[in-house]
Amino acid sequence: MSTDFYVAAPAATWPTAELIQQCMVQRAYPVRVRRFPSFNPRQVVSDGALISLDTDAEVYLEGELFSAASGREDVDAINKRLATTPDPFRASSGDAVMSFRVRSPREMRAASYVIASLIVCFHGYGVDPQGNGRGRDDFAKTLVDAASALKGL
């Protein structure tokens, strides 16, 4: 069984691997970016992210990066879910959307730190469709707290 997460962030400021790594270092997250997808507004990038967790264990985060304008089905589903909440955020055509599919506690920890970084440093908005979690800074804090609790699993 897998869990999916989405993050929408302004496409114009989608980070490089170096920038997201700087964000994680500033926050003392136990993660090192080995490979991170580059945004291409004309195609779906499906090579995910490769992360080192706790200095040695490599974790591949399966996912896709796409323009909200080209991924209308996913974006419409996210926005429909958000419409049932009091939160005014909706993904728009100017956003890049990254999906993460996690299947283990180790993948969950790595994805949580990456998602939190995209939210906090790059004005992202995170969505957990299965758990109905969503948001910006408070959601990022929840993810980081959960990641800490999963250490060693």
pLDDT score of 32: 95
pLDDT score of 106: 92
- Domain of 18 in residue numbering reads as 3-149
What's the pLDDT tens digit per position in 71-109?
Answer: 778 889 889 988 988 889 999 999 999 999 999 999 999
Q: How far apart are CA 87 and CA 50, in angstroms?
A: 32
Number of neighbours of residue 132 by Cβ within 10 angstroms = 10
What's the pLDDT tens digit per position in 11-58?
Answer: 999 999 999 999 999 999 999 999 999 999 999 999 899 999 987 789
- Number of structural domains (the chain) is 1
Q: How far apart are CA 121 and CA 20, in angstroms?
A: 8
Specify the long-range contacts of residues 134-141, CB closer than 8 Å, at least 24 apart: 134/82, 134/85, 134/87, 134/89, 135/87, 140/115, 140/116, 141/116
Q: How far apart are CA 9 and CA 92, in angstroms?
A: 9
| Whether residue 1 has pLDDT greater than 70 | no
Find, among 138, 120, 139, the residue nearest to 128 by Cα: 139
pLDDT score of 78: 86
103-118 mean pLDDT: 95
- DSSP codes of every residue in 75-86: HHHHHHHHTTSS
125-141 mean pLDDT: 91
Q: Apex CA 131: angle with CA 139 and CA 118, to 5°?
A: 35
| Token digits of residue 139 | 């959601």
Backbone angles phi, psi at 50, to 5 degrees: -115, 125
| Whether residue 2 has pLDDT greater than 70 | yes
pLDDT score of 74: 83
